[in-house]
Each structure stands twice: as structure tokens, then as C-alpha cells.
Amino acid sequence: TQYTIAVVVGSLRQDSINRKLARALEKLAPREFTFKYLEIGDLPLYNQDNDANPPAPVTRFKAEISAAQALLFVTPEYNRSVPGVLKNALDNASRPYGQNAWAGKPAGVIGGSIGTIGTALAQSHLRGILAYLDVPTLGQPEVYLFVKEGFFDAAGEIASEGTRKFLQDWMDRYAAWVKKIAG
Ligand code: FNR
């Protein structure tokens, strides 16, 4: 069985460490997983007036989520919570009421920060939002990455062997769990 994993990176920045982290994680995944990076930068600010006639990027975004068997959120922490761009994406795909595209998709939550807190608060908030959206999240292992200079090598791989092993273990657990839930 092949699995499409919809990846949502909570940063729009070109050099995002979280985008790099997602790319590095992709290399640790089983062959039957295909990662599709969802664009969130072109989604309009959510406006309930548009529910009856959603803008084209929202319709596309929801279709991409529906086509995936599982989700992977890789996000920074902004001001002790999820970045607004990520919350906006979550809100856009959750509506109109009764047409929540996220529902039932198993999700991994992971993130890296240049602070030692390693996105712990952002992830905690994100898990709360996802619970409401009926998205089961992998509980353990948790990953709160402190990303300092030299974390990625020139090829974009995780430089530290210990960290790579830790993330490989995370990926193995995530993959097994996705297969169990998505079938
Ligand atoms: C941050 N950063 C940050 N880091 C953190 O650990 N906790 C926080 O609350 C915040 N808050 C915050 C707010 C805003 C507006 C910015 C721009 C940044 C720092 C953050 O970890 C750093 O900029 C990362 O590099 C952002 O992730 P990407 O874009 O590299 O993936």
C-alpha cells in the first residue's frame, strides 16, 4: 500500500529550519510514503462570509488534504503559540461547518526552534486545536528540537548521528502508527 502524507510547514520563510526538518524527515521515511508539501501561503485570511463560495486556493487545499492518508505538521513557535499562518490554514480547511477536511486523518506533530524550548508550547497548542478538529495525533515520542548552527549538514541531512537516530525512531513509530490507523 502507498501512503500520501500531506505535510504542512508552519513557516512561509524560504530558509525555514522547519521546512529543512521536514525534508530531512522525508529521507527517514519508509518507501511507501510519499510526502506532498501543501502550500499555505496563498490561502486567504479566513472569512466566514466566504463559506458559501470558498476561494479557489481553499478548495485546492481541502482537496489535497482529502487525498492524503495522513498529515505531518512541522512548525515553528511564534510568541509561544502556533504561527498565525498555520492557524489560518487550520481554520480555512475546517469550514464550512460539517465539512472539516482534517477530520480523522492521523497526524504527526514536530517542530524546531532556535530557542531551547524547541516549540513545546506551539506543539501543545497545536495538539489542542487538532483534538477539536477530530485529528488523532501521535502521542509519543515527542520531539522538541533545539536547532542551532550546524544542525543540518551541507546536504541538508541531520548532522548529529544521535539526533538522526532519535528522529529515525520517531519516524518508525509515526509510520507504524499511520499504517495502523489509515489501514
Ligand atoms: C520567533 N521565534 C520563537 N522561538 C521560540 O522558541 N519561541 C517563540 O515563542 C518564538 N517566537 C517567535 C516569534 C516570531 C514572530 C518570530 C519571527 C520568531 C524564533 C523562531 O524559533 C525562529 O525564528 C525560527 O527560525 C522560526 O522557524 P523557521 O521559519 O526557521 O521554520
CA distance readout (Å), 94 to 81, 103, 128: 19, 8, 14
pLDDT attached to residue 5:
98
Q: Which atom of ligand 1 is nearest to the CA of 19?
A: 31
pLDDT attached to residue 183? 83
- Please state the ipTM of this predicted complex: 0.99
Domain 3-182 sits in CATH at 3.40.50.360
Mean pLDDT, rounded, for 46-71: 98
CA dist 106 and 135 (Å) reads: 6
Given pLDDT bands bounded at 50, 70 and 90, which one contains residue 40? very high
Ligand 1 atom nearest to 15, measured from its CA:
30
Q: Does ligand 1 lie within 6 Å of residue 14's CB atom? A: no
Radius of gyration of the chain, Cα coordinates, nearest whole angstrom: 16
How do residues 147-159 score in pLDDT, each as one tens digit? Answer: 999 999 999 999 9
Q: Beta-carbon neighbour count of residue 165 at 10 Å? A: 12
Mean pLDDT of the chain: 97
Find the 45 Cα to ligand 1 centroid distance in Å: 21
Instruction: Dump pLDDT digits (tens) for 73-126.
Output: 999 999 999 999 999 999 999 999 999 999 999 999 999 999 999 999 999 999
Return the domain boundaries, the chain: 3-182
- 78 CB less than 6 Å from ligand 1? yes
